[in-house]
Structure 1
Amino acid sequence: MGDRSRWLQRIGGSLFWRVCLVNAAVFAAGVAVLAVSPATVSSPVALGEFLVLLVGLAVILVANAVLLRAVLGPLDRLRSLMEDVDLLQPGQRLPEQGNGAVADVIRTFNAMLARLEAERALSTGRALAAQEGERRRVARELHDEVGQSLTAVLLGLRGVADRAPPALAEEVVMVQEAARSSLDEVRQVVRRLRPGVLDDLGLCSALTSLVNEHAWLTGADVQRRFSTSLPPLDPQTELVVYRVAQEALTNAARHASARRVLVELTETSSGDAVVLRVLDDGRGVDGSEEGAGVRGMRERALLVGATLTVGPHESGGTDVRLRIPLHPREDGS
């Protein structure tokens, strides 16, 4: 009895046997209909009899196609999802309906996607954490070693300029200005590598400094609009928001040639999320494949469970939006 049950289960679950059973059922039904019908076939076949046979064959083929589509249709949807799936856009799943081999394949594929998304998020988090650590180390070395060395050079040149004869004083001043310019560039690189103002004064102050620096470097008209009642965010989320804004501003200047940029950081009307928005008036999205910068922003967004959308704006340019969901408070307020 147990062997018979396992045999029936294997036949019911095997895709090969399911297709065979569907075809057998269709052809058996066709034979039964012909057997009980008054239709006859003479030799040679008359025109009316030939038309009846054609109609019967068409009905059998249509019924077979409909049933096979019901059995194999999920495989087509699975193939389509496998071609389009992107681990940087999680949540893509097929509905798990029915039973048998096809349903098992879909359930296995959905489980594999969930596992790959979790592993991708974990490995991305480790890589970005290592990257931020390296940024912090390089910034510290630039500040402590290169910055202090250039400061010492500036102080020495100032003493030389005071004692130099008039014929050399002008050249010493030029070298002094070059050293001061190099020191400013080093400080700018340090700020981009690790924004100290983010740790010291918070996210809004860091974004304000970023916006002002971008306007000064590019000459673009950069406006900012930050909500005054933003909820507190954890340090990792603040760093993600800052890096996404930084990359969006870089893309607006480097790829879109934008002359006007708007940076917004607001809370949704329902209070369930914080939204960062960077809107520019540049060339906009041309439909080409996303570059490394956008994919890097998506990877950072996944770390904090945020959603990133990059698309054209109705008035032209590019609209970058980062939506960070907020966890409900423990007191329910």
Structure 2
Amino acid sequence: MTLPVVAVVGPTGSGKSELGLALARRLDGEVINADALQFYRGMDIGTAKLGPAERQGIEHHLLDVLDVTQEASVAAYQEDARRIVGDVRARGRVPILVGGSGLYIRAALDRLEFPPTDSGVRARLEAELAATGSAAFRQRLRAVDPASAERIDDDRRLVRAVEVHEISGRPFSAFMPRREYHQPAVQIGLGVDRDALRERLAGRVHAMVRRGLADEVERLAADGLRDGRTASRALGYGQFLRVLDGSLTEQDAIEETIAATRRFARRQLTWFRGDPRVAWTDWQAPGLVDRALAIVRQHGDIS
């Protein structure tokens, strides 16, 4: 029997965690986190991370694996997620990816190869670009990778493309992702009513503040949150760091967080709507779990 990877995707606040948990119970599955901010220890309230009791005994992977000073890496996530998927499948259970970080979902599911990097090569190429100018450097790239030379419009990516070719001998364009699963998978998207989601997100931010988001940010600031390139820019955390610094009032931080969260949800919807493989179902439909199970059974060999 083929055990596909099940991915529950959609915008923030749409109920992905709850559906993933329900599917894990019904399918004898284990949950693999695909929310880049839930990797961080201590970032609980502002990321709506399910606590240990809320996980209801379902095994959850890749939660609380980074300190706030560390930078999340898609390439590292791909390696970790695929290893865990293999372990879950080897136990005869169903791996269930849950999250709204689109690139991380693709890294886990798709034939996506990350180009190599070398800081020494990059530094040398940056110096060469500064000496010769963008036009000459673009011509150099055109000789080995005309597709990238035509598409790239900034110096940083010009250097990156030449770096990749120099290290690997392959054009940067050869590493472009394809919408092709590297193993059997099904993606379930939670389709939302946008006006209802807007209201839910506002209520969610207010609830996070009542639960102690400001105190959580203060604790994490003592652990180096400001030094974390990824964590410090997280929704709510960046705003409440400014409250701590005295440059923003709490009310303004709340309003900014609500606005930023709504923009983020729109970007997530655009990302996932752009993938024709996602099977959508209404987030508030009666019998949502049964509908999601029907999608899984339609796309994968699960009895």
TM-score, length of structure 2 as denominator length? 0.23
Higher relative contact order (CA 8 A, sep 6+): 2
Higher helix proportion, which one? 1
